[in-house]
């Protein structure tokens, strides 16, 4: 018997994300499984999995994400350009 390979159910493809500014460091899905967020060091990308529409939240400068429980998500972000 050979090694068993896990079955993978692909629901979305990276080809639908517009120009990603940097390497993705986090991915987030919530209870509403229609949306997924990808995060790089510069932007957040909100992806509608059903329609493949993507909204980019520019200049978030997020370098870390922490979930303390099901109600709170904290981000560590640097000051961006154009911020006081």
Both structure tokens of 76: 């560590």
What pLDDT, on a 0 to 100 scale, did the predictor assign at position 63?
87
Residue 62 pLDDT > 80 = yes
What pLDDT, on a 0 to 100 scale, did the predictor assign at position 66?
87
The rounded mean pLDDT for the chain is 81
Farthest-apart Cα atoms in the chain, separation:
63
Place of tokens 């500014």: 21
What mean pLDDT comes out for the span 22-33? 84
Structural contact between residues 17 and 27, judged by C-beta atoms closer than 8 angstroms:
no
Domain layout of the chain by residue ranges: 18-77
């Amino acid at each position: 018997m050979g090694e068993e390979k896990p079955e993978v159910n692909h629901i979305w493809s990276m080809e639908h994300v517009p120009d990603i500014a940097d390497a993705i460091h986090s991915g987030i899905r919530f209870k509403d499984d229609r949306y997924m967020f990808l995060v790089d060091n510069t932007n957040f990308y909100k992806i509608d999995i059903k329609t493949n529409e993507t909204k980019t939240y520019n200049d978030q400068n997020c370098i870390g994400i922490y979930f303390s429980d099901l109600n709170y998500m904290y981000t560590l972000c640097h000051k961006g350009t154009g911020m006081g």
